[in-house]
């Protein structure tokens, strides 16, 4: 064990127990998820953030690679009341600083009251509070990471063959379970880098243009927004999005987004469907939200704060979700979203055949 310090933007320095050495900086956020720590730690949406677990014991069922959502840990550092040795060793091997023996209730309350904030982390045998403050001074806000997509996207296109609708998935930091959910339903999936060109997408001739989840400010994903603008008026292509993807799609059709005070991160966020009145529990991880849906209709809202959780347009063949229907980790209430997306894709494909 070693010394560990967290320098917060509110001026405080919090001391804990070092479980994995290193220095880091990022936006301090928290998740209320009580399971799924492997999925959370490998979720690309946590890039450039410091993740605090509100559940007190993290690691009580080990670490298994088959649960990972990507190839690496994405938070810049991880904080908990207690990490098991398995998780501490994993984070150490990944080069991600980890601190426990913290009053995480206090950290969560601070974020809820003051909002997600910059912080600096220092863990090691000879670190001091000043080391953590130095990291804090170098910390940038999430909107300042203007090319964050390059840190989380696939380096080159990948193709997963299927006999269903063709999906061009724009990888802005996609969780692996999104790809798996589409493949399990027979989709022909092309995973493309976040900066893929319009010509590349057109060559695939997709039935669905799908914008993935990812980290940071949707305003910094101008290329993905341009792709939506290029294809959303095409009757032969459906458009879908999850999380960051919903925000990008909304911006592309005249809407707008805004940063939330502390976001939604957890596996028990209640969402109400406005047509049926049904409430489902959902998995969420986002710090920005749709403030104006533009030319889309709001179809689902968060029960707690009425933020937009689902958008759609029959005229534009658009369907999006702010939460994570793939539910890794979390409840499976909303898995039907992927069926709805591929149904839209099949309809678009049929129109293409008729047109030809």
Are 351 and 235 in contact by the 8 Å Cβ rule? The answer is yes
- For the cut 70, the answer to whether the pLDDT of residue 352 exceeds it is no
Residue in this structure with the two tokens 């690496």, named with its chain if needed: 72
**C-alpha to C-alpha distance for 256 and 250, rounded to whole angstroms:** 7
For the chain, the farthest-separated pair of C-alpha atoms sits apart, in whole angstroms, at 70
Q: Tell me: the pLDDT tens digits for 234-292? A: 999 999 999 999 999 999 999 999 999 999 999 999 999 999 999 999 999 999 999 99
The answer to whether residue 326 is catalytic is yes
- The predicted pLDDT at position 333 comes to 81
Average pLDDT score over residue span 113-121? 98
Half-sphere exposure in the Cβ direction for 14 (13 Å, CA): 23
**C-alpha to C-alpha distance for 245 and 263, rounded to whole angstroms:** 16
The answer to whether residue 74 is catalytic is no
Task: Establish whether 288 is an annotated binding residue.
Answer: yes
**C-alpha to C-alpha distance for 113 and 35, rounded to whole angstroms:** 25
pLDDT band at 232 (very low <50, low <70, confident <90, very high): very high
**pTM (2 decimals)?**
0.96
Ordered structural domains, the chain, with CATH:
2-140 (3.50.30.20), 148-355 (3.40.50.880)
Task: Establish whether 269 is an annotated binding residue.
Answer: no
Task: Establish whether 247 is an annotated binding residue.
Answer: yes
- Sign of the torsion angle spanned by Cα atoms 238, 337, 310, 242: negative
Instruction: Mean pLDDT check: name the lowest of 45-54, 108-117, 165-174, 345-354.
Output: 345-354
From 74, 82, 243, 264, active-site residue: 243
pLDDT band at 353 (very low <50, low <70, confident <90, very high): low
DSSP 8-class letter at 317: T
Task: Establish whether 214 is an annotated binding residue.
Answer: yes
Q: Tell me: the pLDDT tens digits for 312-350? A: 999 999 999 999 999 788 787 888 999 999 999 998 765
Q: Tell me: the pLDDT tens digits for 22-57? A: 999 999 999 999 999 999 999 999 999 999 999 999
- The predicted pLDDT at position 334 comes to 83
Q: Tell me: the pLDDT tens digits for 133-146? A: 999 999 999 999 99
**How far, in Å, are 82, 264, 337 from residue 282 at the CA level?**
26, 10, 12
The answer to whether residue 38 is catalytic is no
- For the cut 60, the answer to whether the pLDDT of residue 58 exceeds it is yes
Task: Establish whether 287 is an annotated binding residue.
Answer: yes
- For the cut 90, the answer to whether the pLDDT of residue 210 exceeds it is yes
């Amino acid at each position: 064990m070693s010394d560990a310090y967290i320098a917060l933007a509110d001026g405080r320095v919090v001391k804990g127990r070092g479980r994995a050495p290193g220095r880091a900086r990022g936006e301090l956020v928290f998740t209320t998820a009580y399971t799924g720590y492997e999925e959370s730690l490998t979720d690309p949406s946590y890039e450039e953030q410091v993740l605090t677990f509100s559940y007190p014991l993290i690691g009580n069922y080990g670490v298994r690679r088959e649960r990972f959502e990507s190839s690496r840990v994405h938070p810049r550092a991880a904080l908990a009341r207690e990490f098991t040795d398995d998780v501490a060793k994993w984070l150490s091997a990944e080069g991600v600083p980890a601190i426990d023996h913290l009053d995480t209730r206090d950290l969560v309350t601070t974020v809820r009251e003051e909002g997600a904030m910059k912080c600096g982390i220092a863990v090691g045998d000879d670190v001091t509070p000043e080391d953590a403050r130095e990291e804090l001074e170098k910390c940038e806000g999430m909107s300042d990471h203007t090319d964050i997509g390059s840190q989380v996207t696939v380096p080159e296109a990948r193709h997963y063959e299927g006999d269903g609708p063709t999906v061009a998935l724009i990888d802005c930091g996609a969780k692996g379970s999104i790809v798996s959910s589409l493949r399990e339903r027979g989709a022909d999936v092309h995973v493309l880098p976040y900066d893929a060109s319009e010509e590349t997408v057109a060559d695939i001739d997709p039935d669905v243009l799908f914008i993935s989840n990812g980290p940071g400010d949707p305003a910094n994903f101008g290329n993905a927004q341009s792709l939506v603008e290029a294809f959303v008026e095409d009757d032969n292509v459906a458009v879908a999005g999850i999380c960051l993807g919903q925000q990008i799609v909304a911006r592309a059709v005249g809407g707008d987004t805004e940063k939330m005070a502390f976001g939604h991160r957890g596996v028990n966020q209640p969402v109400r469907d406005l047509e049926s009145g049904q409430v489902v529990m959902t998995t969420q991880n986002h710090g920005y939200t749709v403030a104006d849906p533009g030319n889309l209709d709001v179809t689902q809202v968060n029960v707690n704060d009425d933020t937009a959780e689902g958008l759609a347009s029959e005229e534009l063949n658009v369907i999006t979700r702010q939460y994570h229907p793939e539910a890794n980790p979390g409840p499976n209430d909303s898995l039907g979203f992927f069926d709805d997306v591929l149904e839209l894709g099949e309809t678009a494909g049929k129109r293409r055949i008729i047109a030809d």
